[in-house]
Every structure is written in C-alpha cells, then in structure tokens.
Amino acid sequence: MCMITGDERLNAFIDSLDTGNTLFLNEIEKEAKETNVPIIRTQVQSLLKLLLAMRKPATILEVGCAIGFSALLMSEYGPEDCHITTIEKYEKRIPVARENFRRAGKEERITLLEGDAAEILQKMTGAYDMIFMDAAKGQYIHFLPDVLRLLVPGGILLSDNVLQDGDILESRFAVTRRNRTIHSRMRAYLYELKHHPQLETVILPVGDGVTLSVKRG
C-alpha cells in the first residue's frame, strides 16, 4: 500500500486551489504528460504568473525550452510587449516547441535559439529583466556568470528543480553514484546564489524547489 505523506497532501491541497491556464496551455501540458516531457509543476506556474504580474518584464531569457510550455505561459501572462528568448539543445524537442509557438500565434514574441546553452550564453549580448533557468541542473553553476552578466540590476533570476526531490539534503555518499556530480554542483550553485555579492536570494520549497534571486543595483 502506497502511503501519502503530509507534504504530498499539502501540495495536493494547494494545487486543488489553482485556477488553471488557458485552454491551449492546458492542452500543451496534457500532451507533455502523455509523452513524458518534464514541464514546470503547478505551484511553479503560479509563482511565475505572480512574478510576471509584479515585475512586468519587457525581456525574458529562458534557459531550457523543452517543448515550449514555460515560454508560452510567460508570453501569455506577461506584458503584451514582452519578448522571450529561449534556448534548447535537445533536437527532438525543438520542432515540437516551434510548432507550439506557431499554433499559439507567438512566433513574433518568442525567439528560440538552438544549441548548447553554455556556448550560446557566452556569445549573447543585451539585457534581460527576468531569467528563468530550467535546463540541465548540473550546468546551472556554469551558466551563472553569463546569466548574471545578462541580467539587469533589479532583475529576477528564477531557477527550478534545485532541491532534487529532497536528495539535496543527503550526503553525496547517500546519493546514487550517477547523480553525485549533479548533487555536488547543485549544492555549489545554491551556496553561490546565497553568498554572491550581486544577489539577494531566497530558496523556496515550491514544486521541486526554486531559488528566487534579485540582482542588486
């Protein structure tokens, strides 16, 4: 018999209060679940909507597009003149994301850059009001210098899946060998966010854990 924990009950209750998204976003989310494509959890969706309403970013950079669900959500609930640049490496997901942007009529508002995020970020210029990190978790620490360079003073950096379903609490020796590198890099990333002189950061147990950072002016 599967036991339901208190945290699971609490999360289920919070999720039950959610008002949902547009019909099209709900359709994309359903397709993602059916094809086992990971997308942001319900509580992270709500947090994104809140940040978009508060900050009203004109420019957003997303690192990790997958099939485009998060980019479409930010485009739908962000300001009408907001432009989103998103990066994706996985070749099989790129055409799906492009087709989803076309179906949503968002091709003019969302730019998809194809390739390795580390290489693309190094070459990027410009300034972004908000950056959403949802790519390979072991690479967050390597992305950070360029992400900070691209983030405007007062800008928001949101990083998803930082608690690794609770594994982040464990000793590296309690984590499976294949996950130890990701585990150590994520711990280093969290330490850097909390101690970086340019950032004010809070770690939130939302979804699979997020960090919310503001770049000091």
DSSP-based three-state secondary structure for 139: helix
Average pLDDT, the chain: 92
Q: Is residue 89 predicted with pLDDT exceeding 90? A: yes
Q: Is residue 166 predicted with pLDDT exceeding 70? A: no
Residue 12 CA to its chain's centroid (Å): 21
The tens digit of pLDDT for each residue in 59-83 reads 999 999 999 999 999 999 999 999 9
Q: What is the pTM of this model?
A: 0.93
Which residues are paired to 113 by β-bridges? 87
Question: What domains sit in the chain, N to C, each tagged with a CATH number?
Answer: 22-215 (3.40.50.150)
Residue 164: pLDDT band by 50, 70, 90 thresholds? confident
Residue 169, pLDDT score: 63
Residue 1, pLDDT score: 46
Cβ atoms 186, 164 nearer than 8 A: yes
Cβ atoms 47, 19 nearer than 8 A: no
Q: Is residue 150 predicted with pLDDT exceeding 90? A: yes
Q: Tell how many helices (H) and how many strands (E) occur in the chain.
A: 8, 7
Total number of residues shown for the chain: 217
Whole-number Å distance between alpha carbons of 141 and 187: 9
Euclidean distance between the first and the last CA atom of the chain, given in angstroms as a whole number: 53
